[in-house]
Amino acid sequence: MNETKVNIKGLNKGDVLFALWKGSHCQGMSFLGMVEGLMTIERARELVKKRAYWEWKYIHSKDNTDLPNDLVDVSSEDKEAFEEWYATKPSFRCDFDYVDGHVIKCDLTGDEFDPRLYDRDCGEGRAEEVITALRNGEEIKPSSPGEDELLGMLASMFGRKDDRE
């Protein structure tokens, strides 16, 4: 069994999540998770930031319930404290199973991640291929042929425009 990790040191975790999402596909009934709309790099960065906020909330909250679950609802004082903490590039739990209908199954917490589950579902070596493309500024194609057409069709069904990068 391959124990090789994929190095993501120096990469923005939101960019990594977006790249993995683009390189992945819907699996089984996971397409139902796409009702949120199509993934964008901004949304991926926000999902990562939300994971960081939940950890900050857990660490800084008096009883773990006195802060809102979403950054939008945080007081300006708490938001400023969170943003200051987040700017220090803290280590926080950052794992994803399915994101907006796509299988991810990666824990991006550190500077490297285990690609075995992603590769199992997207193709052997796919995670490394996606991260290499991200580092080189190359386009990342979906792992399933016809995925772009399917996503466009679903987006139009839900009245969303296709604004992926």
C-beta separation of 100 from 82 below 8 A: no
pLDDT value for 165: 46
Backbone φ, ψ for residue 113 (5° rounding): -140, 160
Q: Which two tokens stand for residue 66?
A: 């006195």
The per-residue pLDDT of the chain, averaged, comes to 82
Residue 107: strand pairing partners: 95
Domain locations along the chain? 6-156
Please give the DSSP secondary-structure letter assigned to residue 28: G
Q: Which two tokens stand for residue 67?
A: 């802060």
Global pTM value: 0.78
Confidence class for position 9, pLDDT limits 50, 70, 90: very high
Rounded CA separation 109/44 (Å)? 15
Nearest CA to 156 among 34, 69, 59?
A: 34
Q: Which two tokens stand for residue 72?
A: 């939008």
Confidence class for position 1, pLDDT limits 50, 70, 90: very low
Mean pLDDT, residues 61-80: 76
pLDDT value for 39: 84
Tell me how long the chain is. Answer: 165
Dihedral of alpha carbons 31, 106, 22, 56, sign: positive
Confidence class for position 113, pLDDT limits 50, 70, 90: very high
pLDDT value for 60: 78
